[in-house]
Amino acid sequence: MAPVRQTVDNIELGQPKSYSFLYFFELVATVSPMRAHYQDPAQIRRRRVEAGLTQKELARRARTTKSHISMVERGISGASAPMLARLASAFGCEVSDLMPSSSEAASS
């Protein structure tokens, strides 16, 4: 993962000079060549929508924040093993159901 300082130096001129922690977090996460998580973000979002849950309601059931659910669904942040277990419990499925299929995993 690129150091934050190096990433900030590459921002186009005209960007605001004060950056929030979330801005840095999202910026570094999107430019990082490494994937820090193994769950399938699209699968998590699909299951949430199929269950008729909002991000806020899923966050409450999984004992996390709406922001974290949003970042996991967008692939910006990964979910820890305990978080994946809580998500699976909220969806009524197995943790393995939240992972990419074996064909998707082989192609990445």
pLDDT value at position 101? 77
Cα–Cα distance, 7 to 72 (Å, whole number): 22
Say how many domains are in the chain.
Answer: 2
pLDDT value at position 69? 97
- Domain coverage including residue 4: 1-34
pLDDT tens track, the chain, 108 positions:
444 443 444 444 444 445 454 444 454 444 443 344 578 999 999 999 999 999 999 999 999 999 999 999 999 999 999 999 999 999 999 999 998 876 544 455
Contact 19, 51 (CB under 8 A): no
Whether 100 and 74 share a structural domain = yes
Residue 98: name the closest of 64, 107, 89, 106 by CA.
Answer: 89
Whether 28 and 45 share a structural domain = no
Whether 30 and 50 share a structural domain = no
Whether 30 and 46 share a structural domain = no
Whether 45 and 94 share a structural domain = yes
Whether 2 and 28 share a structural domain = yes
Q: Which domain CATH number covers 89? A: 1.10.260.40
Cα–Cα distance, 51 to 41 (Å, whole number): 16
Amino acid sitting at position 39: Q
Contact 39, 84 (CB under 8 A): yes
Whether 52 and 77 share a structural domain = yes
